[in-house]
């Protein structure tokens, strides 16, 4: 497995990977209509291309040989009113293809997020996770993330309650 920063030539591959992993993760909990509407809005090739040109956004893609198997997205200019650090970074997305979930891909992506954040002098790494996604919550806790507040996320007709979790990088 290799993990590398994404760039503009990855727009289509990344958009497809984003859509597939999101769909596979959340389709059991949401209507097909809501899923397709969100995917069309959040994972279009055009939006991914714009994000890849944005200096405040950093994507990394994990590959198994030439096959993209997971990714992460960091927001360098993100913060939250309940964070006291002046230099925060948000792990907005971290997803792995279903067939690679137990192959340490998520662990390696998380280590990449933590190391990138430290190397760029961020003090706090934070993320949002659906409260019902116990596997993900436990995954983050294993890295030392702690819940510091909650927020809501709307996907179509469904309002989801998320935990916001953080880890100090000092």
Domain ranges of the chain: 2-127
Q: What is the pLDDT along the chain (170 residues), one digit of tens a residue?
A: 999 999 999 999 999 999 999 999 999 989 999 999 999 999 999 999 999 999 999 999 999 999 999 999 999 989 899 998 789 999 999 999 999 999 999 999 999 999 999 999 999 999 999 999 999 999 999 999 999 999 999 888 889 999 999 999 98
Is 3.40.630.30 the CATH number for 2-127?
A: yes
pLDDT for residue 74: 98
- DSSP characters over 36-91: HHHHHHHS-HHHHHHHHH-TTEEEEEEEETTEEEEEEEEETT---TT---SSEEEE
């Amino acid at each position: 497995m290799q993990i590398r920063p994404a760039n503009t030539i990855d727009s289509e591959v990344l958009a497809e990977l984003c859509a597939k992993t999101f769909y596979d993760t959340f389709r059991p909990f949401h209507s097909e209509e809501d899923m397709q509407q969100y995917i069309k809005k959040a994972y279009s090739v055009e939006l991914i291309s714009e994000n890849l040109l944005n200096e405040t956004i950093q994507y990394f893609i994990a590959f198994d040989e030439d096959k993209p198997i997971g990714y992460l997205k960091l927001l360098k200019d993100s913060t939250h009113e309940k964070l006291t650090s002046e230099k925060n970074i948000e792990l907005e997305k971290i997803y792995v293809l279903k067939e690679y979930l137990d192959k340490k891909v998520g662990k390696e992506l998380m280590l990449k997020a933590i190391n990138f954040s430290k190397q760029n002098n961020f003090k706090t790494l934070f993320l949002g996770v659906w409260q019902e996604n116990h596997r993900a919550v436990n995954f983050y806790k294993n890295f030392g993330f702690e819940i510091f507040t909650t927020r809501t996320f709307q996907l179509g007709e469904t309002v989801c309650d998320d935990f916001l979790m953080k880890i100090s990088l000092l």
